[in-house]
A and B are shown apart, each in its own frame.
Chain A
Amino acid sequence: MNGVSLKSETKDIVVDETFPHSAASLWRALTTPELMGRWLMTPADFEPIQGKRFTYQTTAKGQWDGQINCEVLEAVPNERLSFSWKGGHETNEGYGSRLETTVTFTITPTEEGSRLQLVHAGFELPKNEVAFTGMGSGWPDVLRKIGAVAGTNEAL
């Protein structure tokens, strides 16, 4: 792998919407535990302070107890809240598989109110760490090429 940068393929979820409310109102809904519980989930031990660890309890599956472990990475009042979002177990597939992700909310004032952008980043192919750490940046091209040919040539 000389000279080839190692990078794994990750996927992000982005939701971007405008609300007819002030940045301060959004911040309150995003960071007040009682309000968080009314639209997201009620967190345990949450405070909007960098380094603060908190959890969410979700539905268990297999060897995973359903707990999401989070840590506040950044908290800028009325602007940005970012926290890690880890859970799952390597013995699960699909829902409940291992997850090491980051959730970031960014609030931007607009004429109509505020824009709220959510980025849930870092979904990696589960259970295939060996494959991904062993691969260089060339593999997506290879996969694409195989896929293109496989799609048009049944003789394969």
Chain B
Amino acid sequence: MTVGELTDGSGVTQGAISQHLKHLKQAGLVAERPAGRKVYYRATPDGLQPLADWICHYDVFWRDRFNALRSLLKEIDQ
């Protein structure tokens, strides 16, 4: 997808799109592929994986802890 295609219908200026793409590229969320005079961009959702791993760790952590809390309360709070 090119900057021009992203600009059409997005309601955002081409300059703003280019800026966003630059940042997304730095963040590893977008990859570019030059072809002739055009540059095509595509999303690389794998860039979100480190965050997903960390969140997943805590999601599992808290659910485990809630189960442990339930057992503890049953034991101490007759």
Q: A13-B59, A19-B73, A21-B77 are in contact. Are A142 and B27 (CB under 8 A)?
A: no
Contacts of B12 in A (CB 8 A): 138, 141-142
Choose one: B5, B26, B53, B70; the contact of A128 (CB below 8 Å): B26
- SS of A interface (majority): mixed
| B64 shortest CB reach to chain A, Å | 9
Contacts of A145 in B (CB 8 A): 6, 10
B17, chain A: closest CB distance, angstroms = 7
Asked if A149 is an interface residue, CB under 8 A from chain B, the answer is: yes
Q: A128-B26, A131-B26, A131-B27 are in contact. Are A29 and B69 (CB under 8 A)?
A: yes
Q: Which of B26, B30, B41, B73 contacts A21 (CB 8 A)?
A: B73
| Contacts A21-B77, A156-B40 given; does A120 touch B20 at CB 8 Å | no
Chain B residues with CB under 8 Å of chain A are 1, 5-6, 10, 12, 16-17, 19-21, 23-24, 26-30, 40-43, 45, 48-51, 53-55, 57-59, 62-63, 65-66, 68-73, 76-77
Interface of A toward B, CB cutoff 8 Å: 11, 13, 15, 17, 19, 21-22, 25-26, 29, 35, 38-40, 93-95, 97, 99, 116, 118, 120, 123-128, 130-132, 134-136, 138-139, 141-143, 145-147, 149-150, 153, 156
